[in-house]
Chain A
């Protein structure tokens, strides 16, 4: 369905995309993952035809994406990161306009508007001005506006930014419905849990380069650790000797945020007592200890040396 081939894009001296290649098959959900400024939005803009790459090409259904009026753009529905709606117009008026841009008219457009509003759960707010909507409702309508012309592929550029958990779940439900309908989704995010829930395959980008491109299970195999020991330190302060802890042979990774210390271990049962004793011996106090399986966050940390939320 979508093939991105060796895309390079620069803004002056800044390289936003450096030979980026990936594919998304029909009905597949591909996550484009990376921290802020990694080049995700640039890639979405190039795939949507908003930006012209310095080199490389984008193929839709095996054909290179042409100019502004290329009919192949009808196969794409863009959900931009910023809300792409007119606040003064009603939800229906917005959808009518965006439907008209793709040649929808009359009963066909009305049906498409009804379907889109129903999918995102806004049927009863269709006549209300968008500026009266909550942030979550706007996000849902932002998604609906990309569906009117029934595109085969949806480009979703961080569609859950700034929404409450309830609205986020509603958007996930909508996307899962679309996935079941066989749509191809290209989903950019820096929330690893979103990617883990939705995506069949993940393309991890950092500083304009693809650092990993694999299925979820394939990426899990890249993990150096499978378990995390989480210690809530009572007396956390600046200068925690993370490097010293990391030098222990059983410790695979160390991450500390505020009072929360995450230690990557291969075998919790044999290695955690020794690590906890090491902390006690150096005067670190704690009342609560827990553990969890390592996530893709750890993969990203391993691959790039920095956190997704940096």
Chain B
């Protein structure tokens, strides 16, 4: 690097660090926002307690079965269940104070027991839900189904209330027009339950009875988060710091472009152009200083995430550094392209910010791309930030090797070349006089 080139780069860095607003925007803002996003998206290894879904229980039955359903729902750690009246529950959901309210109608306990063997008349549990929380509604509905099955079957097969229902069902079967073979099978099952209940009663009298239990879900789930290694927990801060780093580094790129456009309107540009300097030196020094600033921002962000939130580069450190460097170069080229295509800072800033935010959003820096529709996920392959995000995720919490960094590095270098060539081709070298 020649002394002139070094002087120009040093000048840009000096200007950057002397501008308090730029420094805050580049370092402090992404740290604050990434910390926030990291916390709400799981923090480091699930240490953050997930917020419970606010649910209201409207029990119009007040039977043993309905009380047990409410009690089981209340005991669930994913839910914050409160009792409420029907109108109170409706108003609370409308105001957003509760996400779901379930309504157990009168006589539900008895009707549900009989409905186990009668497909025609089933009692209805009402669900009042906030339409902006459809996912939570589905979750509550699933949990409610499990708890209802457990409570109703328990009461049906072992509870006092539903023993009468067994006897009633036997009487109904006697008089029904069911096929004789079916009638016989059902009678056999119900008489078996009746006899089992009688034996439990005699056992209870002698003190040998086991605790009554209804139908339960016939399997358990073992879930395992696949991260960089066994026992290494997912760290949500790794993704959020990568995402916010990318976003704010692109803002650095915008500042590079705006700075060049503003410089063209000042005498500084004329003075630089009057000196015996090549165009490569003028634009190249600007690109190098921008890339150095961007790289520094990324390093500071991940150092902060490492010290404060325990984020580690679980994969290839070389791959991580190469991805950071490639993205920093791409940002510098992006800044030059803005300067080449823009006319004035005022006219260019708004459009640049819009393009940047679109790239950030489509790149998955705010929310992961897997929640996008399939066609949009395919589209984001053409967005450089998507590759940067995927690469940083791969090198940080996924713990993948250098081979997984090669694709993102190649794509980012490709975008750097495209942006750089376009910028040089379109740059207006003549002074704005």
Contact = CB atoms under 8 A, between A and B. Distances in A.
A74 B276 contact: yes
B77 interface: no
Interface in B248-297: 265-279
Interface in B284-338: none
A70 to B, nearest CB: 6
Given A88-B15, A97-B11, A100-B3, A42 B271 contact: no
Contacts of B184: none
Contact of A84 (B15, B19, B267, B279): B267
A279 interface: no
Nearest to A66: B276
Contact of B270 (A68, A84, A96, A105): A84
A70 B276 contact: yes
A78 to B, nearest CB: 4
B19 A88 contact: yes
Contacts of A253: none
Given A68-B278, A88-B19, A50 B430 contact: yes
A74 B275 CA distance: 7
Interface string A33-55: 00000000110010011111000
26 contacts: A45-B270, A45-B430, A50-B270, A50-B273, A50-B430, A51-B430, A51-B431, A51-B433, A52-B430, A68-B277, A68-B278, A69-B278, A70-B276, A73-B274, A82-B267, A82-B270, A84-B267, A84-B271, A88-B14, A89-B14, A89-B15, A97-B8, A100-B7, A101-B277, A102-B275, A105-B3
Interface of A: 41-42, 45, 48-52, 68-71, 73-74, 76, 78, 80-86, 88-89, 93, 96-98, 100-103, 105, 142, 145-146
A146 B267 CA distance: 12
A145 B271 CA distance: 9
Interface in B382-433: 430-431, 433
A268 B36 CA distance: 85
Contacts of A86: 11, 15, 268
B209 interface: no
A48 to B, nearest CB: 5
A74 B274 CA distance: 9
Interface of B: 3-4, 7-8, 11, 14-15, 18-19, 265-279, 430-431, 433
Contacts of B431: 45, 50-51
A98 B8 CA distance: 9
A102 B7 contact: no
A70 B275 CA distance: 9
A101 to B, nearest CB: 4
Contacts of A48: 270, 273-274
Contacts of B11: 86, 89, 93, 97
Contacts of A83: 266-267
Given A50-B274, A73-B275, A100-B7, 6 more contacts: A42-B433, A51-B431, A86-B11, A86-B268, A88-B19, A89-B11
